Chain A
Amino acid sequence: MKVAIFPGCIAATEQYACELSTREVLRELGVEVVEVPGFSCCGWPLQNVGTVGWVYLAARNMALAAEKGVPLITLCNVCNRMFYEAKFLLTTNSELREKISSLLKEEGRGPLDGVEILHPLELFHDRIGVEEIKKRIKKPLKGLKLAAHTGCQAIRPRKLRSIDDPEYPKKLPSLIEALGAQSPHYPEALDCCGAYLFYTRKDASLTLAGEKVEAVQNWGFDGLVTVCSSGHRMLDGRQDAAATTIGKALNLPVVYYTQLLGLAMGLAPEKLGLQLNRSPVKNLLEKIG
């Protein structure tokens, strides 16, 4: 199997562990990564100011991947939704489609359609499969209880595409359990990380992140598992700031699913970028041994 990786702004410019661990585990699983130079932002920030600008950005990125003819894996839930939303608008609105096509030609790009967008959960759960992943485990994560954070933008709205159940997502928990750990449901599983409030209401954004981490901590989980670079930046990268905002002590290890999978497959923590996590992942690594 061959895929291309769409990092999105946050993984491309800051959350390096996300791309690093994804590349490592894909290599280990025999999935070839095709390089696509020239990707930009998916378009999300521009959705606040106009329609043509953001759809153009989403379309130009999809066109770049379409030239290579391989599925595109998104490392951020928001990028994933933007691509699907752009596809929807381009198929339902011929005027917009014409505008975007001619803009793409100006930048020397095309074709518009035909790229398959894959969320990491779809790649690991539906394509590679839980059984196949179980076979690759060298170091089962026995005795660990880990909370799954699937994230809002991956599962809603169901009408756009259905990666998982929008009210009771089960794929990430089952992928965590495939590694030998437990991942029971918890009441705050659907709570938002606050990522996109950060640019308009910083305090509320950090409060959301802090309350999410605090809830997971209070239920006695050993850590929190993410599949989105935007969400991870809030829950791991900004955990200290969130703790200050809500006035509570937070010390919950937060890891990407690809980091956890890599560890269970016996890969070294540095190869998976665990030295880059801001939350106390040491506590978790010690338990894994």
Chain B
Amino acid sequence: MVGITDQLRATKPQPDLVDRFYKVVEKLKLENPFHCYQCFKCTSGCTSFRLTEIMPHSFVNFVRLGFVEDMMRSELLWACCQCLKCKERCPQDVAPVDVIFLLRRMTVSSGAEIPEDLSKIIMNVTETGFIQGIQKVKVGETSVDREQLGLPPITLPNLEKFSSVLMKAMEEQIE
């Protein structure tokens, strides 16, 4: 992730996005990132940090300084594994993971692309109700499904209705 001096030289804060960010923070009753005192506790225990260099405290800090768009464009936005340790441990209840997920949603509503595999399962949910179709799984040389194992069928009563209401729900963006 970029250093703070580089950031200050490279771009200007983005007041529109900052406004939008704080409106949603208020709506969803998230903790105000201004309560963060940069103690680093979130980053020191972050599961993804070691593998991807994501630094939850710095997401919070850049957002506080007004660099919302830069954080939205960072590929590290998609490096959080949602282990929720930062949310549990933050002494100020700031929950960097909530900041990260809010930025993900703002990115999407601004029309930017999201990782392909994630986009695929979202599409499947809107079209079929599940992230994937009912799979056949291997047992030795053969493969079996729910029915062959004696499990009750999985059914969505009215798929067309389900999809249309869900699409409508998804259009009601608050981010």
Contacts and interface: CB of A to CB of B under 8 A. Distances in A.
A45 B118 contact: yes
Contact of B101 (A14, A47, A56, A103): A47
Contact of A152 (B84, B150, B162, B175): B84
Given A46-B125, A49-B105, A204-B79, A157 B84 contact: yes
A218 to B, nearest CB: 18
Interface string B144-175: 10100111101111100110011011101111
A76 B161 CA distance: 26
Contacts of B130: 9, 12-13, 40-41
Interface string A188-212: 0011101111111110110110000
Contacts of B52: 201, 204
A50 interface: yes
Q: A50, A89, A96, A158 — which one has the most chain B CB atoms within 10 A of its CB?
A: A50
Interface stretch (B9-17, B34-42, B56-64, B108-116): B108-116
Nearest to B27: A93
Contacts of B29: 89, 92-93
Interface size class of B (residues with CB under 8 A): 35 or more
A247 interface: no
A38 interface: yes
A205 B118 contact: no
Task: Tell me what chain A mostly uses at the interface: helix, strand, loop, or mixed.
Answer: helix
Contacts of B149: 16, 20, 273
Given A45-B121, A50-B109, A16 B81 contact: no
A168 to B, nearest CB: 12
Interface in B45-81: 47-48, 51-52, 78-81
Interface residues of A, number: 65
A50 B167 CA distance: 11
Contact of B28 (A9, A93, A159): A93
A198 B116 CA distance: 11
A192 B45 CA distance: 12
13 contacts: A16-B146, A40-B125, A40-B130, A46-B125, A47-B101, A49-B170, A50-B172, A106-B165, A156-B87, A190-B85, A196-B82, A200-B79, A204-B52
Interface of A: 7, 9-10, 12-14, 16, 19-20, 23, 35, 37-41, 45-53, 56-57, 89, 92-93, 95-96, 99-100, 103, 106-108, 152-153, 156-159, 166-167, 190-192, 194-202, 204-205, 207-208, 273, 275-276
